Structure 1
Amino acid sequence: MELDLPDLHARMLERVVDAVRADARFEALLGTGSLAYGGFDEHSDLDFVIVVRADDHAAAMAGRQAFAAGLGSLLAAFSGEHVGEPRLLICLFGPPLLHVDLKFIAPGDLSALSEHPVVLWARNPGDLERRLAGLTVSGQGRDAQWYEDRAWVWLHYVATKLLRGEHFEAIGGLDFFRDQVLGAMLQRNAGRHPRGVRRVEDVEGAKALLAPTLPSTGHRSIAEALKRSAALYVELRTAEPPSSPVKGMPGLLLDFIDGKQSRA
């Protein structure tokens, strides 16, 4: 498949395709992220999924650092346990600096992909296309109730840190909520793939809606950003209401923030 990529990215793609094609253990190379969804530019990462024969998957995982090192000047690499994806190897090449993700999966894992990939190379294109034809992606399994079940728990957690005086922990919690809930719902409501705050600036009105959820380091500013985050969530959920809203919210949360909650 022909892709219009910056020269640096195009050269890396060519090296990865050549390396995958030359290794009989590998069945296909897929592209995800901006490679699949568009909007690729000079600042983009390269996100690759390498499909490995099932019998060779363990060996490929054990040798993935060596595989990455063979692609060019590898500066650093580590696995993705911190994002719940141990099959992922996150790499930095350079100079010039380039971020490349290499995810090694078995053919049976194709049905569990969280986004529709673009096929960059396949040993058996017809078989791969048939496998991918049955792939169904729906918001990473996050329906309206998924957000509702988590939103108030996460916001209450932020409030407890604020009231304890852990301002930076509270700010971090608001950042997490903005990415996992508010940004994703803004994207969903705009008919886009809900990828947190990635390129959320492209959603009409998103910047103005999210700006009040960004606090400074003072107690009052964090409390106001927390309340605005709760209000924006309530506003965004009207587009797709949850089947079982959490009782008493947002009133219970607002009372908690303002110290009005009964201790009885």
Structure 2
Amino acid sequence: MALRGMPDIDSVMKERLALIGSWAALVAGFTGEHVGEPRLIITLVGSPLLHVDFKFVRAGDFAERVEDPDVLWDRDGHLADALAKHPPTLPSLELQWIEDRFWIWVHYGATKLGRGELFEVIGFLTYLREAVLGPPAARRVGAPPRGVRHLESIAPEEARDLRATVCGYDRHDAGRAFLAGVELYRRWRDDAGAAVRRHRDAERLAVQYLHDVIDRTE
């Protein structure tokens, strides 16, 4: 919902759950600080039970988006004007940002594997898929880089490759999945054709450390 020129917007933001409850059969709802978006209200409504997100923004902020929405109601045309003047902007994918961090992350994850902290390793591999592997996988097919969201449908070949990075609660399986993630990163980084300053020493040392850890766990 876009709020235009309202002097009492602060009070509206405090009453969002009550407003939603007047529009739909609200079962439960909470604000979206955990995803960095406090304007968002994440709800269950029903019956039938549905997950519905409500985002309250000023009309002036409505143009900031990554895709065009379907406008169901626009009282005075301000939303249409904002959309027409400002095309959607895809989030950027900073491959250099990833390269600057990736090999430190590899070493960090390898230390967890060496200690047998498998829950940590499993969570770490999930993070790599979300932050490092999912975004370039989506960009390979021209889709917005949004972690691994919808990857099975928008990039089925890349999603099949990512299966190798999933492991069970087993040190050998975790090491195999870790190495698969490293190789996927290398391949997709090189395929991107972008000008990335590579940290070759860090790469060599971190990968060797990972292999040493895996060899000790076998």
TM-score normalised to structure 1 length: 0.71
In structure 1, distance between residues paired with 2:10 and 2:187: 47
Structure 2: state its 5+ residue gaps: 214-218
Is contact 1:148-1:242 (8 Å) kept? no
The answer as to whether partners of 2:74 and 2:80 remain within 8 angstroms in 1 is no
2:159 matches 1:243: no
| Structure ranking higher in strand proportion | 1
How do 1:112-131 and structure 2 match up within 5 A?
A: 112-125=64-77, 127-131=78-82
Tell me, yes or no, if the aligned pair for 1:52 and 1:60 is still in contact at 8 Å: no
Distance 1:68 1:214, change over 3 A: same
In 2, are the aligned partners of 1:91 and 1:101 still within 8 Å (CA)?
Answer: yes
1:149 is matched with which residue?
A: 100
CA deviation string 1:136-165 (max 9, x = no partner): 412x12232233234334433322322222
Match of residue 140 from structure 2:
189
1:111 shift after superposition:
4.0
> 2:48 aligns to what SS in structure 1?
coil
In the alignment, the residues of structure 1 paired with residue 104 and residue 63 of structure 2 have an alpha-carbon distance, to the nearest angstrom, of 31
Quote the residue 1:87 is aligned against. 39
In terms of fraction of residues, the more helix-rich structure is 2
Task: State the match for 2:16 in structure 1.
Answer: 64
Q: CA deviation at 1:221?
A: 1.2
- The answer as to whether partners of 1:57 and 1:104 remain within 8 angstroms in 2 is no
Q: Which residue of 2 aligns with 1:10?
A: none
Q: Residue 229 of structure 1 aligns to which amino acid in structure 2?
A: G
SS in 2 for 1:161: helix
Matching residue within 197, 201, 206 for 1:253: 206
1:46-61 aligned within 5 A: 50-54=1-5, 55-61=7-13
Change (3 A) 1:88 1:243: same
Deviation at 1:250, TM superposition (A): 3.0
Q: 1:150 to 1:116 in 2, by over 3 A?
A: farther
Within 5 A, what are the aligned runs for 1:1-264?
A: 50-54=1-5, 55-125=7-77, 127-133=78-84, 134-138=86-90, 140-202=91-153, 203-237=155-189, 238-259=191-212
Give RMSD over aligned pairs. Answer: 2.1
Distance in 2 (CA, whole Å) between partners of 1:136 and 1:245 is 31
Q: Where has structure 1 moved over 4 Å in runs of 4 or more?
A: none
When the two structures are superposed, what TM-score results if normalisation uses the length of structure 2?
0.85
The amino acid that maps onto 2:74 is: A
- Report SS of the residue matched to 2:71: strand
Cα contact 1:57–1:105 (8 A) shared by 2: no
Amino acid at match of 2:181: S
